[in-house]
């Protein structure tokens, strides 16, 4: 144990009273207990300090009497793999007893131990432990501790190996565009001739030539060149005479995003890749994408793009099977999201197209928004419907059309497997469709009458994500909402008050009993995810981020300096979402921490604390 990180507690009586009732010291005479206790040492480790350093020789074990400690493996570049959580009555340093039983000069300590909160306990040196070691009751005690510790370690190791196996198997499937593209992007001058482009493509073994004009990439493929030759165009003609705007995609997009772009245009073979500043940096070909083998998802995409109302039932069943398979294969939340979200989004888009076809030409432009889990980009399985509609102008003609369109969309989505919303938050309900001015008035009403129902509406509304329709209507809508929110401080304060009344559990108070006593439960959906998402909405609104998925909102808040550690927050959200999804397969959102492995308990504790800190920060922004 390291001596530089602990101090002697001011009052050691609570430690002494606790130790006297533990199996190691119970039923001993006062004289024997006093002698053994004096040979040990009362210690206190403040929150955040190391209890044991992997690089330093151990001289004993620590029997914790209060507080919480985390045991983890320290890896490359300070990465930490949490192995277990230890609280009152637990021993840390158990594995190091091997050096007491079989002394060796070889280093055997592979883990470090950190105090997650102020932690007190009794340090028991090896010489005291040796004296007790011959007692059958002591041996029985340590045997039981070792058996349960091994059970946790094996379970944790199995989970990590299964996850690693899945990740390795699916690594290519879930690649980003930047991992598949050709880079750097080779370009010709905008004033090049057709002949010069042919020479350029031949020299570099390319099937297309790209030129940039006013920051916009244009492309001429070998097919355009052959057509120009067939049309007897002079090869000295300017290349721009046969060029066309090139399809583009961000380098951070996923494999499925790229496949969707190719699917939308049947004859498309090349996409120019842009960086975060919209600058062309690479080329992605259909051949590059098709190298990534996952035929079942490709088949689903083809089904979606050739959607017919009479095929919705089969398509729904296929999508459910795909989601179930990914969950059974223990796909991470991010991998699951990158696979299923584009599929569900494209299905909804195709359904909207079909509904418009059935209803007829709209009388004005409109925009469609997802809410709930779909709006947050967390729709890992088919859920109920949550959506609203914004149209350019209002009138009898518009209302009649969008009433009919709303009914058609809702019905087709239900046929596809998205159940009707119990709260009727769907565009078939006139409350959830209207013009930009209608929505401004609705927010004003929510602010004036901040009832629990209206606050619930507001939370669902602000979980919005634009999916379909006019960009002009979308921009006008967002501008109108931003303008109205400047005068709706009462609504935001009421939302913040509601958040404050439902604090996320934390290891600082209730979590210890939740983790270390049997029978306690945490409702991940009601006690953790809902309060976090509501806090994220408040923080996003205050930062001028009105819509977007959870990941997009976190990224925007990080850019604006509102979030310091984006990775920690995302990983905490991912863990809670993953744990909730596991429980959902068993028909509940509740989890009993005493049924989790030590590693899961430790990650749960850290995740809850991270999310709670974010929640409190969001509430403080409004001075609540």
Give the mean pLDDT per block of 10 residues along the chain (624 residues): 75 92 89 94 92 83 89 59 77 80 65 87 93 88 79 62 49 68 88 91 87 89 81 88 90 77 70 88 80 62 83 87 77 73 89 95 95 89 92 91 96 93 93 92 86 88 92 91 84 86 69 49 92 93 89 87 86 91 88 78 86 91 76
Give dist(CA 272, CA 219) in Å, integer: 9
* Residue of 236, 242, 532 lying closest to 376 (CA atoms): 532
Which residues have a Cβ under 8 Å from the Cβ of 277 and sit 6 or more positions away?
A: none
Q: Which residues of 214-252 are buried (b: 16+ CB within 10 A; e: fewer)?
A: eeebbbbbbebbeebeeeeeeeeeebbebbeebbebbbe
Fold observed for domain 182-290:
CBS-domain (3.10.580)
CB 93 within 8 A of CB 52: yes
Rounded alpha-carbon distances, angstroms, from residue 273 to 276, 376, 401, 449: 10, 26, 39, 48
Could you report how far apart the first and last alpha carbons of the chain are, in Å? 44
CB 243 within 8 A of CB 193: no
Same fold, 6-169 and 293-480: no
pTM of this prediction?
0.64
172: three-class secondary structure by DSSP:
coil
* One CATH from 3.30.460.10, 3.20.20.140, 1.10.760.10, 1.10.3720.10 for 293-480: 3.30.460.10
Got the DSSP string for 566-610?
HHHHHHHHHHHHHHHHHHHTTT-SEE-GGGS-HHHHHHHHHHHHH
Give dist(CA 439, CA 312) in Å, integer: 32
Which residues have a Cβ under 8 Å from the Cβ of 500 and sit 6 or more positions away?
A: 619, 624
Q: Is the dihedral of CA 398, 400, 403, 407 positive or negative?
A: negative
DSSP type of residue 508: T
287: three-class secondary structure by DSSP:
helix
- Domain 6-169: CATH architecture, name and number where available: Sandwich (2.60)
Give the strand pairing for 111-115 and 280-285.
unpaired
HSE of 567, CA atoms in CB hemisphere, 13 A: 1
Q: Where are the domains of the chain?
A: 6-169, 182-290, 293-480, 488-624
Give the strand pairing for 6-7 and 60-66.
unpaired
Chain-centre distance for alpha carbon 223: 42
| Residue in this structure with the two tokens 């059974």, named with its chain if needed | 328
DSSP type of residue 501: T
pLDDT of the residue at 510: 41
Give dist(CA 349, CA 363) in Å, integer: 19
Name the token pair of 287: 């051949």
CB 502 within 8 A of CB 527: yes
Environment class of 476 (CB within 10 Å of its CB; exposed 0-12, middle 13-18, buried 19+): middle
pLDDT of the residue at 518: 46
């Amino acid at each position: 144990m390291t001596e530089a990180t602990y101090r002697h507690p001011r009052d050691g009586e609570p430690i002494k009273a606790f130790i006297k009732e533990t199996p190691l010291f119970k039923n001993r005479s006062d004289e024997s207990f006093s002698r053994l206790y004096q040979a040990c040492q009362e210690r206190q480790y403040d929150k955040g300090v190391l209890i044991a350093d992997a690089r330093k020789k151990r001289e004993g074990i620590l029997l914790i009497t209060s507080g919480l400690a985390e045991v983890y493996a320290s890896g490359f570049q300070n990465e930490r793999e949490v192995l277990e959580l230890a609280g009152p009555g637990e021993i840390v340093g158990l594995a190091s007893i091997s050096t007491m039983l079989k002394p060796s000069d070889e280093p055997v300590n592979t883990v470090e131990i950190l105090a997650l909160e102020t932690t007190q306990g009794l340090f028991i040196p090896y010489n005291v432990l040796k004296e007790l070691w011959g007692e059958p009751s002591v041996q029985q005690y340590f045997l039981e501790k070792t058996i349960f510790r091994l059970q946790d370690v094996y379970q944790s190791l199995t989970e990590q190996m299964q996850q690693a196996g899945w990740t390795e198997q699916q690594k290519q499937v879930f690649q980003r565009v930047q991992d598949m593209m050709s880079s750097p992007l080779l370009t010709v001058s905008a004033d090049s001739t057709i002949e010069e482009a042919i020479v350029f493509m031949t020299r570099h073994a390319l099937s297309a030539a790209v030129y940039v004009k006013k920051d916009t990439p244009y492309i001429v493929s070998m097919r355009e060149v052959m057509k120009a030759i067939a049309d007897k165009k002079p090869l000295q003609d300017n290349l721009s005479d046969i060029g066309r705007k090139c399809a583009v995609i961000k380098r951070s997009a996923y494999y499925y995003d790229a496949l969707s772009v190719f699917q939308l245009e049947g004859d498309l073979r090349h996409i120019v890749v842009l960086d975060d500043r919209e600058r062309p940096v690479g080329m992605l070909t259909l051949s590059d994408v098709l190298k990534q083998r996952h035929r079942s998802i490709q088949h689903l995409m083809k089904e979606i793009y050739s959607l017919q109302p009479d095929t919705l039932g089969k398509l729904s069943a296929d999508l459910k099977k795909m989601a179930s398979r990914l969950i059974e294969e223990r796909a991470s939340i991010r991998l699951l999201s990158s696979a299923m979200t584009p599929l569900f989004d494209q299905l909804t888009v195709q359904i909207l197209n079909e509904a418009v076809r059935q209803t007829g030409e709209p009388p004005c432009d409109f925009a469609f928004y997802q809410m709930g889990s779909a709006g947050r980009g967390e729709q890992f399985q088919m859920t109920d419907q949550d959506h609203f509609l914004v149209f350019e102008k209002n009138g009898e003609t518009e209302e009649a059309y969008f009433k009919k369109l709303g009914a058609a969309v809702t019905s087709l989505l239900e046929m596809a497997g998205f159940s009707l919303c119990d709260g009727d938050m769907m565009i078939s309900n006139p409350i959830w469709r209207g013009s930009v001015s209608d929505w401004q008035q609705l927010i004003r009403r929510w602010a004036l009458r901040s009832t629990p129902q209206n606050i619930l509406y507001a939370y669902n509304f602000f979980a919005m994500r634009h999916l379909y329709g006019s960009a002009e209507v979308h921009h006008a809508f967002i501008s109108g909402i931003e303008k109205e929110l400047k005068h709706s401080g009462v609504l935001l304060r009421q939302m913040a008050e509601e958040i404050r009344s439902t604090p996320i559990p934390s290891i600082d108070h209730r979590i210890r009993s939740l983790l270390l006593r049997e029978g306690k439960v945490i409702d991940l959906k009601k006690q953790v995810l809902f309060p976090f998402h509501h806090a994220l909405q408040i923080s996003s609104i205050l930062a001028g981020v009105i819509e977007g998925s959870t990941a997009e909102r976190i990224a925007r808040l990080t850019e604006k300096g509102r979030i310091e550690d984006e990775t920690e927050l995302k990983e905490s959200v991912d863990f809670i979402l993953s744990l909730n999804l596991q429980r959902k397969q068993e028909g509940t959102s509740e989890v009993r921490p005493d049924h989790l492995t030590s590693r899961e308990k430790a990650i749960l504790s850290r995740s809850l604390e991270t999310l709670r800190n974010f929640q409190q920060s969001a509430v403080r922004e409004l001075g609540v």
